[in-house]
């Protein structure tokens, strides 16, 4: 039966995502009411620039005082879409304290203080939902928190940043320059307010921290995630990758150790074989593999960024939270009972592609091979190309620990015959 009193929603931020949330709330109002069992009313919209024309949003709903809005006391759900740490954190906390549940897309904040916010939500018996915070429109948080709650997840691996995938795809498929591709991603609403968060891997690292915490029922901080961005990836790296039948993607990889006693989380560019499903993830799309004991391998794929796709995930959360308000229930809270330690990057084991500039003279190859052997790093393939007394040597290793590989590279740099280490890239997905 339809409840007549509407559920009141306060929207904080009306930018790329917020404006789409407001639009869908208006255009789909009747369907949302039918699915929830009560009308949902936009009761206030906090913005920074009140003079901007916002089609479809009555002027009387606009305010620049977000704090007063979340303190009103008649608000059922606060939808936080301003981003950043402050004032977002204080506004969410105040919202809980004044009786509202919260939907957010703010991965930076959730990675930094998800535990604290969950604790306040639980204290106040309110919901905190954030499907849009990881992999945009793709249902991933809810499947991990709910659908897979009876299984044991061992690995989460994928592309979780739309902007960098868009840039890498453009560089690879059209030969576009890095800056040109980044400008286009920003214009399309994919990039963060400061795109450094995307290209330096901070955004993907925040998502990895959130995913690892939920997947392994533990707490993984932002500082626990090893992070390398994609600004150093060059056209030469793409050429090398092509030579190996690979492409380059920025990956987030969260793993439970084989003995189950610890976890790792990392973000870095990696070569992956063209035949791997992640290689064909184009533009701002994301794709994430989840491996678990009973389900086996699951793949989640879809738009990872952009106003409307992200708004879809926000609206899904809004419906869930509204349903909970009506039934008097709350959804699942934080689950960090395993308290697994996070191992350092040095213990991660993977394969590597190393490109060296060396002197083109007899014995160099043997010298280089000896350094690898001395550090316990086994070589899979070596390719050598001569150029005017110099040569480039491309070594692909078998699985080795990051610490052994770093030791090898350090020793290689001290050889007279090694002029430089042109690039080091991990090889995943084989
Ligand atoms: N754009 C995307 O594809 C995705 C964005 N997100 C997240 O969604 C959130 C919003 O992102 P976008 O809409 O892209 O950013 P945006 O920069 O387009 O919008 C944020 C809006 O909040 C406003 N704002 C900032 N501080 C405010 C304050 N104190 N009071 C009122 N308004 C304030 C800004 O003026 C701006 O209009 C961020 O947390 C972002 O990380 C998540 C997934 C995808
Ligand atoms: N800037 C982010 C937006 C979505 O989370 C991205 O590009 O993935
Ligand atoms: Na999502």
pLDDT of residue 2: 80
Nearest CA owner, ligand 1 atom 25:
82
pLDDT of residue 341: 98
- pLDDT confidence tier of residue 430, bands split at 50, 70 and 90: confident
99 known ligand binder: no
19 known ligand binder: yes
Kindly give the distance from the C-alpha atom of residue 336 to the centroid of ligand 1, in angstroms, as a whole number.
28
126 catalytic residue (yes or no):
no
pLDDT of residue 4: 80
Rounded Cα distance between 88 and 249, Å, is 31
Q: Average pLDDT, whole number, for the chain?
A: 96
ipTM of the complex: 0.99
pLDDT of residue 353: 97
Rounded Cα distance between 160 and 137, Å, is 11
Q: Which domains does the chain have, with CATH numbers?
A: 7-136+307-327 (3.40.50.720), 149-302 (3.30.360.10), 345-427 (3.30.70.260)
Least confident of 52-56, 196-200, 211-215, 324-328: 52-56
Which ligand 2 atom minimizes the distance to the CA of 191?
Answer: 1
Kindly give the distance from the C-alpha atom of residue 16 to the centroid of ligand 1, in angstroms, as a whole number.
7
Any atom of ligand 1 within 6 Å of the Cβ of 16: yes
Q: Percent of the chain beyond pLDDT 90?
A: 95
16 known ligand binder: yes
Report the predicted TM-score, pTM, of the whole model to 2 decimal places. 0.97
Any atom of ligand 1 within 6 Å of the Cβ of 106: yes
């Amino acid at each position: 039966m339809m409840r007549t009193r509407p559920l009141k929603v306060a929207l904080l931020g009306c930018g790329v995502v917020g404006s789409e949330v407001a639009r869908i709330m208006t255009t789909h109002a009747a369907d949302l009411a039918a699915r929830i069992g009560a009308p949902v009313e936009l009761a206030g919209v906090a913005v920074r620039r009140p003079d901007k024309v916002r089609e479809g949003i009555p002027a009387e709903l606009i305010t620049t005082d977000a704090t007063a809005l979340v303190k009103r006391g008649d608000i059922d759900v606060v939808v936080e879409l301003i981003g950043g740490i402050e004032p977002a954190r204080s506004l969410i906390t105040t919202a809980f304290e004044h009786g509202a549940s919260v939907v957010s897309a703010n991965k930076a904040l959730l990675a930094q203080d998800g535990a604290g916010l969950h604790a306040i939500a639980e204290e106040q018996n309110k919901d905190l939902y954030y499907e849009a915070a990881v992999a945009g429109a793709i249902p991933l948080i809810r499947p991990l928190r709910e659908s897979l709650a009876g299984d044991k997840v061992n690995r989460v691996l994928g592309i979780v940043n739309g902007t960098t995938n868009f840039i890498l795809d453009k560089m690879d498929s059209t030969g576009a320059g890095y800056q040109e591709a980044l400008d286009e991603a920003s214009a399309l609403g994919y990039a963060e307010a400061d795109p450094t968060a995307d290209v330096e891997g901070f955004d993907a690292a925040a998502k990895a921290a959130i995913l690892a915490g939920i997947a392994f029922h533990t707490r993984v901080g932002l500082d626990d995630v090893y992070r390398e961005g994609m600004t150093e990836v060059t056209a030469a790296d793409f050429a090398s990758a092509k030579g190996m039948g690979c492409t380059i993607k920025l990956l987030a990889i969260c793993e439970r150790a084989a003995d189950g006693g610890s976890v790792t989380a990392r973000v870095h560019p990696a070569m992956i074989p063209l035949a791997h499903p992640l290689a064909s993830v184009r533009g701002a799309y994301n794709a994430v593999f989840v491996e678990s004991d009973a389900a086996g391998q699951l793949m989640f794929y879809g738009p990872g960024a952009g106003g409307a796709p992200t708004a879809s995930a926000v609206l899904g959360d809004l419906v869930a939270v509204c349903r909970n308000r009506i039934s008097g229930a709350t959804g699942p809270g934080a689950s960090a009972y395993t308290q697994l330690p996070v191992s350092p990057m040095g213990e991660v084991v993977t394969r590597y592609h190393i490109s060296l500039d060396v002197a083109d003279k007899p014995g160099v190859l043997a010298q280089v091979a000896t350094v690898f052997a001395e550090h316990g790093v086994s070589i899979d393939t070596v390719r050598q190309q001569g150029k005017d007394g110099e040569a480039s040597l491309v070594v692909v290793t078998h699985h080795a620990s990051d610490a052994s590989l770093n030791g090898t590279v350090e020793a290689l740099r001290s050889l007279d015959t090694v002029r430089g280490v042109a690039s080091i890239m991990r090889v995943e997905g084989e």
